[in-house]
Amino acid sequence: MSERLLAYTDKLSAKPGDLIQVKVSSPHSGKYRARLVRMICGDDSADGPGFKTEPVKGVAESEHAARFQPVPLGSYAAIKDRKGFALASFSLAAFIWPTRLDKGEAQCILGNWDAANASGYALYLDAQGRIALRVGESAPVTLEAPLLSRHWYRVAASFDAKSGRVTLAAHRQLPYAGNPQRQIARGKAAASTAANRFLIAAWNDGAKVTAHFNGKIDSPAVYAKAQPIEALLLPPGSRGALTPRQAVAAWDFARDIPGTAVIDRGPKRRNGQTVNLPTRAMTGWNWNGTEMNWVHKPEHYGAIHFHDDDLYDCGWETDFTLRLPKTLKSGIYCLHLTQGDLEEWTPLFVTPPKGKATAKLAFLVPTASYLAYANHQMSTSWHFDELSSSRFTTFSQADLYMEEAGSLGLSTYDLHNDGSGVCHSSYLRPILNMRPKTDLWQFNADTHITDWLEAKKLPYDIITDEELERDGVAALKRYACVITGTHPEYYSERMLDGVQDYTNHGGRLMYLGANGFYWRIAWHPKLPGVIEHRRSEDGMRAWWTETGESYMEFTGEYSGLWRRNGRPPNMLAGVGFSAQGFDVASWFDRMPGSNDPRAAFIFKGVGQNERIGDFGSVGGGAAGWELDRADAALGTPPHALILATANEFPASYHWVKEEFNHSHSAVNGDTCPMVKADLVFFETPKGGAVFSASSISWAGSLAHNGYDNNVSRITENVVRRFLEAKPL
Amino acid sequence: MLSIDPTRTDLCEEFKRQPAGRHSADLHRLLDLMRWGYARGKTIILCTVPHKEWRLAKMGPRRGSKVQVDNSRVFHDHDDAVWACFRARWKEMTGRDCPVE
């Protein structure tokens, strides 16, 4: 397997004077060196502005002992109490909806089994996908036939220590001809009363946690005696079923859905905690379509979907701490770690001191969008990846590492190993595509903007999505002008409100990208550094939510497109996502709006018939990758000026699917007039304004010809006017 | 319908001349067929030195398995690697060598 030096920090965004914890893993022992640099441009390609960093005064280079730290993939729930589950006789029951029966390894449903010393007990799926029970060192008792994937089953087991009798059963919710709905097996075992950790969706292997379950578990319960199997198979709450009061523990996953607690409704309150954020607010065994929002009927959302590749927090030990100088200038910084031939660049976004602005201009770094894409493995998640990109799959060394390692935690663009969509993404792990010297996408593409700001000697502060989420408009209102990144795609309600309040109260927004303000996300209200997204209803979706699972567990909000939440991007930016393609980029032609006197300042020094941006390091043009267009029907303000339009795109560009309600073939650049980008300007209340570039590749053209080109000129004309106090 | 016509050397030559951008309708259709479905199991491109060196490769059966790298050829131009990948896919889909070198 390829090797990497890996690191992450406890914070992604920090302010001068903050203490940063740095967590590092190396495949080798020995020492690695660490230094902090200011990142100007991360594009190391021959076509770009060049890789540029600056040294940082006041932070000494340091050397540290290298060590390996593992990535603990897989979610589960751990119950705090152990002794209560050290039972001679017991019964276990749960509803399950298994999703990876072909894994070829054991997947534990619940129990306190420890594989390291063959003690305790567990109800689990065996390597053949059959329900099994094992007790201590006894041979497992197993049902005859494997279960069916993505079907609800009631599964149960009882064990009587005195007789040694094991009874095991699975009852499928759906009847099929020729496929028995119920299986029962009987066998013998000897008791094992070790007080191991009690886990749901995994088992112990000494101190490690293994045998992660893939799929949903609903209403797991433990009883102290060998209960009749017929009673165990009855759904909770039905006549003759066992009650929580009779239970050692009976967990109700419909409680504390936004949190990490698993709540026991039994008399001893044997609560636990989920680990690595399995997906909650999942439709349960009894969901019947009468309610789509878990907030309104949580009793139908008593399932948690566990995955063997969930990851919230690597939980690595801190290798060293770094105190940021109190005088550190706001900007993008990177920890540069080196060990022999290995190197790692870990970004850190340094804001100004709290409550202060040190420039009139802010660069709003779209860290939520960086997280949405963090460590994506689209080429193995998507069957349509090459058709979408019009390229053969091309692995970078980072892609190679993640493919061979299995994962470093997935992105919201991916499918879990069981084929279900990934809803969570955090920064408490190394993120290989949020680095300089990577593809020109998100983080690295956005350094074309910092590079240009530095080249034009335009002082700027860094504000990230975390400050926007925390402070709302207060994070922006000190600035005359706010510049976005190239692809600020993922917005929570508070973030969107913050930017909208800013432009509604005299702020000037330069949206230097495309497909922004598109998807609705939530930040976790308590856990740091993690977002949630559900790909509901419509849009250019990497995957789609299961029916009834479109409301986010963190907040209860409906996820999916902002357009489907009543706030199309056009309402804020004047434009919204129209098309995408990833093989070549195009240019803009001036439109009549560019000759409106209101736009004269924008086109100062630009010829009437000049093609705008028929050059650049991202696809060879300023109009490319993802494109936005104006549309009054979607909320583009009536006075917005369409300054320029790009509409020369090949068939590799595709119209976004939320814009057509019926399938047909005229949906690409060769055939569809909606495949275009509109450069737009409009004034906002109280002297504010919005300029939208409407193209992800716009920033890739800024540096062309030593920053002397019409994309750079238009951008500079706008930013210098937007920084003036005079109302627009 | 859903197959590649192995006699269409003109389409190979068109792709070799211009691997990205506007293509004829027939080449577009051919590339859609080549790119349909998961890349796992098909020839892909691996960048072995950023911006400088590429090789052909194939992913293993699932995430977590080793990628098989074809070290017999090293490409120093990205378009050369793309062309080699096209030729490999042609053979994978038609069972015949691509008629254009």
A238's CB contacts (< 8 A; 6+ apart) are none
Find out whether A593 and A641 touch, Cβ atoms under 8 Å: yes
In chain B, which residue's Cα lies nearest the Cα of A382? B38
Q: How confident is the model at residue B2 (pLDDT cuts 50, 70, 90)?
A: confident
**Choosing among B40, B53, B55, B59, which should be mutated to test the A contact, i.e. which has the most A CBs within 10 A?**
B59
Size of interface A-B (CB pairs under 8 A): 90
In chain B, which residue's Cα lies nearest the Cα of A45? B51
Instruction: Determine the Cα–Cα distance for residues A722 and A601; give it in Å rounded to an integer.
Output: 10
Q: B15 pLDDT exceeds 90?
A: yes
Find out whether A409 and A10 touch, Cβ atoms under 8 Å: no
- The 3 state secondary structure assigned to A288-312 is CCCCCCCCCCHHHCCEEEECCCCCC
CA geometry: angle at A715 spanning A711 and A721, to 5°?
150
Packing angle, helices B9-17 and B78-94, rounded to 10: 160
Instruction: Determine the Cα–Cα distance for residues A168 and A141; give it in Å rounded to an integer.
Output: 8
pLDDT mean across residues, chain A: 97
**Least Cα separation, residue B26 to chain A (angstroms):** 12
Residue from the list B22, B44, B51 with its beta carbon closest to the beta carbon of A394: B44
Query: Cβ B44–A392 below 8 Å, yes or no?
Result: yes
| Contact residues, chain B, for A436 at CB < 8 Å | none
pLDDT of residue A1: 62
Which residues pair with residue A589 across a beta bridge?
A645
A8's CB contacts (< 8 A; 6+ apart) are A23, A314, A316, A346, A427, A428, A429, A430, A431
Interface pTM, i.e. ipTM? 0.98
Instruction: Determine the Cα–Cα distance for residues A275 and A312; give it in Å rounded to an integer.
Output: 8
pLDDT in tens, A273-308: 999 999 999 999 999 999 999 999 999 999 999 999
Query: Cβ A379–B86 below 8 Å, yes or no?
Result: no
Residue from the list B45, B51, B59 with its beta carbon closest to the beta carbon of A403: B59
In chain A, which residue's Cα lies nearest the Cα of B66? A404
Query: Cβ B66–A404 below 8 Å, yes or no?
Result: yes
Q: How far is CA A548 from the centre of its chain?
A: 20
pLDDT in tens, A717-726: 999 999 999 9
Q: B72 pLDDT exceeds 90?
A: yes
Share of chain A above pLDDT 90, in %: 99
Query: Cβ B51–A44 below 8 Å, yes or no?
Result: yes
pLDDT in tens, A172-192: 999 999 999 999 999 999 999
Give chain B's contact residues with A (Cβ, < 8 Å).
20-23, 28, 31-32, 34-40, 42-48, 50-51, 54, 57, 59, 62-67, 82, 85-86, 89
Instruction: Determine the Cα–Cα distance for residues A143 and A672; give it in Å rounded to an integer.
Output: 56
Instruction: Determine the Cα–Cα distance for residues B23 and A191; give it in Å rounded to an integer.
Output: 70
In chain A, which residue's Cα lies nearest the Cα of B69? A400
pLDDT in tens, A515-570: 999 999 999 999 999 999 999 999 999 999 999 999 999 999 999 999 999 999 99
pLDDT of residue A109: 99
Residue from the list A385, A396, A400 with its beta carbon closest to the beta carbon of B67: A400
Coil/strand/helix, residue A486? coil
**Choosing among B28, B29, B35, which should be mutated to test the A contact, i.e. which has the most A CBs within 10 A?**
B35
In chain A, which residue's Cα lies nearest the Cα of B27? A651
Residue with tokens 């814009």: A659
pLDDT of residue A110: 98
Share of chain A above pLDDT 70, in %: 100
pLDDT of residue A264: 98
Mean pLDDT for A601-615 is 98
**Least Cα separation, residue A666 to chain B (angstroms):** 13
**Least Cα separation, residue B13 to chain A (angstroms):** 17
| Contact residues, chain B, for A586 at CB < 8 Å | none
Spell out a b/e string for A700-720, using b for 16 or more CB atoms within 10 Å of the CB, else e.
Answer: bbbbbeebebbbbbbbbbbbe
Of A121, A123, A105, the C-alpha closest to A113 is A121
| Contact residues, chain A, for B38 at CB < 8 Å | 380, 382-383
- Say what the alpha-carbon torsion angle A385, A389, A395, A396 is, to the nearest 10 degrees: -130
Of A117, A298, A122, the C-alpha closest to A222 is A122
**Least Cα separation, residue A437 to chain B (angstroms):** 8
Query: Cβ A397–B86 below 8 Å, yes or no?
Result: no
**Least Cα separation, residue A34 to chain B (angstroms):** 23
Packing angle, helices B25-35 and B9-17, rounded to 10: 90
Mean pLDDT for A570-587 is 98
**Choosing among B22, B26, B54, which should be mutated to test the A contact, i.e. which has the most A CBs within 10 A?**
B22
Query: Cβ A377–B44 below 8 Å, yes or no?
Result: no
A143's CB contacts (< 8 A; 6+ apart) are A130, A131, A132, A168, A169, A170, A183, A184, A185
Which residues pair with residue A482 across a beta bridge?
A362, A509
Of A582, A690, A568, the C-alpha closest to A641 is A690
Spell out a b/e string for A376-386, using b for 16 or more CB atoms within 10 Å of the CB, else e.
Answer: bbbbbbbeebb
Query: Cβ A403–B21 below 8 Å, yes or no?
Result: no
| Contact residues, chain B, for A387 at CB < 8 Å | 32, 35-36
Q: A269 pLDDT exceeds 70?
A: yes
Cα distances (angstroms) measured from residue A720 to each of A397, A514, A612, A622:
40, 22, 19, 21
DSSP code at position A138: S
Q: How confident is the model at residue A91 (pLDDT cuts 50, 70, 90)?
A: very high
pLDDT of residue A446: 98
Residue with tokens 């500079």: A716
Backbone angles phi, psi at A592, to 5 degrees: -55, -30
Find out whether A298 and A254 touch, Cβ atoms under 8 Å: yes
Q: A659 pLDDT exceeds 70?
A: yes
Coil/strand/helix, residue A525? coil
| Contact residues, chain B, for A383 at CB < 8 Å | 37-38
pLDDT of residue B1: 64
In chain A, which residue's Cα lies nearest the Cα of B86? A392
Find out whether A539 and A519 touch, Cβ atoms under 8 Å: yes
Q: How confident is the model at residue A15 (pLDDT cuts 50, 70, 90)?
A: very high
Instruction: Determine the Cα–Cα distance for residues A363 and A716; give it in Å rounded to an integer.
Output: 14
Query: Cβ A392–B39 below 8 Å, yes or no?
Result: yes
Instruction: Determine the Cα–Cα distance for residues A2 and A400; give it in Å rounded to an integer.
Output: 7
Query: Cβ A395–B28 below 8 Å, yes or no?
Result: no
Residue from the list A45, A386, A583 with its beta carbon closest to the beta carbon of B39: A386
Instruction: Determine the Cα–Cα distance for residues A702 and A708; give it in Å rounded to an integer.
Output: 8
| Contact residues, chain B, for A404 at CB < 8 Å | 64-67
The full DSSP string for A49-73 is S--EEEE-TT---EEEE--------
Spell out a b/e string for A257-273, using b for 16 or more CB atoms within 10 Å of the CB, else e.
Answer: bbbbbbbbbbeeebbbe
pLDDT of residue A2: 79
Residue from the list B47, B54, B63 with its beta carbon closest to the beta carbon of A417: B63
DSSP code at position B50: T
Instruction: Determine the Cα–Cα distance for residues A122 and A199; give it in Å rounded to an integer.
Output: 9
Q: A144 pLDDT exceeds 90?
A: yes
Query: Cβ B47–A403 below 8 Å, yes or no?
Result: no
Residue from the list B34, B45, B89 with its beta carbon closest to the beta carbon of A394: B45
| Contact residues, chain A, for B67 at CB < 8 Å | 395, 400, 403-404
Does residue B1 or residue A679 have the better pLDDT? A679
Query: Cβ A397–B47 below 8 Å, yes or no?
Result: yes
Mean pLDDT for A426-441 is 98
Query: Cβ B51–A390 below 8 Å, yes or no?
Result: no
Backbone angles phi, psi at B47, to 5 degrees: -85, 115
pLDDT in tens, A631-645: 999 999 999 999 999
Give chain A's contact residues with B (Cβ, < 8 Å).
1, 44-46, 309, 377, 379-380, 382-383, 385-387, 390-397, 400, 403-407, 417, 437, 583-584, 650-652, 670
Query: Cβ A387–B38 below 8 Å, yes or no?
Result: no
Instruction: Determine the Cα–Cα distance for residues B73 and B59; give it in Å rounded to an integer.
Output: 17
Query: Cβ A584–B21 below 8 Å, yes or no?
Result: yes
Query: Cβ B64–A406 below 8 Å, yes or no?
Result: yes
Q: Which domains are present in chain A? A: 6-70+316-350 (2.60.40.10), 76-306 (2.60.120.200)
Q: How confident is the model at residue B74 (pLDDT cuts 50, 70, 90)?
A: very high
